[in-house]
Amino acid sequence: MKKLLALFCTLSLAQPALAANISTLGNLGQSEFRTLSEDLGAALSYKPITPAEPLGTTGFDMGIEVTQTDTSRSAQAWSKATNNGSTVSKVYVPRLHIAKGLPFGIDIAAFYSKIPSTNISLVGGELRYAIVEGGIATPAIAVRGSYTKLGGVDQLALDTKGLDVSISKGFAMLTPYAGVGQVWVTSKANVTPLTLSEEKFTQSKVFVGANLNLGLTNIAAEVDKTGGIQSVSLKLGFRF
């Protein structure tokens, strides 16, 4: 437990190394803008970090999260797009996340993120329906629709839409889960003169994770690959 908390703190404090505002997108060529958009799509798309089983009408899931995404493919594009020329190989996205259970196996959730030392903010949410709610002998299966939108960056408008199906099965306090889906990314540069075309593309998504409920404390970890780009997420909070 202490090691896990130490890792979470390390990830949370690692962000200042980024220290870069996206403010010079006009320096990019079209292929560089596409690569940067793909990495941002993977980093900023929705990360569930939760099992498929529904919370129930009185259930809540609240926590703080950190996601680390490998952006080494677009490291040079980051250098050109930021006002201080930073070469960014990893992006850390902290989030405040809350989910609420509704009747009929439906859950809703929303999050807010502000990445320190950058001009990047992010909001998003999900609507999830448990096709199979699961039980002692059966797994839960859920379908989720999600949306995220970038804010704070005048030169870039980016949003993602996601659709996935996930499965989970609880064993005492531990609930492993996995899922597959698709992410649709729209990325548009707002630069003058307009030298970059809008990018619209789809990224396949696979993820696996586990949720550990310790009563007053809930811990979840997840590994995600969106468009072949890996993200690792950790969440600390409460689930009941």
Determine the pLDDT at residue 11.
52
What average pLDDT does range 203-214 have in this prediction? 97
pLDDT band at 85 (very low <50, low <70, confident <90, very high): low
Tell me the per-residue pLDDT of 16-64, one tens digit each, with 9 for 90 and over: 445 578 899 999 999 999 999 999 999 999 999 999 999 999 999 999 9
For the chain, the structural domain boundaries read 2-239
Over residues 119-124, mean pLDDT: 95
> For the whole model, what pTM was predicted?
0.90
The residue ranking higher by pLDDT, 163 or 194, is 163
The confidence score (pLDDT) of residue 87 equals: 75
More confident residue, 236 or 193: 236
Q: According to CATH, what is the number of the domain 2-239?
A: 2.40.160.20
Q: Provide CB contacts within 8 A for 200, sequence distance 6+.
A: 184, 185, 186, 187
The average pLDDT across 77-81 equals 91
> 13-17, 148-152, 216-220: which has the minimum mean pLDDT?
13-17
Give the mean model confidence (pLDDT) for residues 154-172.
96
- 224-233 tens-digit pLDDT: 999 999 999 9
pLDDT range class, residue 1, cuts 50, 70, 90: very low
Q: What integer pLDDT is reported at residue 15 of this predicted model?
A: 47
pLDDT of residue 156: 96
8 vs 71, higher pLDDT: 71
pLDDT band at 118 (very low <50, low <70, confident <90, very high): confident
**Does position 4 have pLDDT exceeding 90, yes or no?**
no
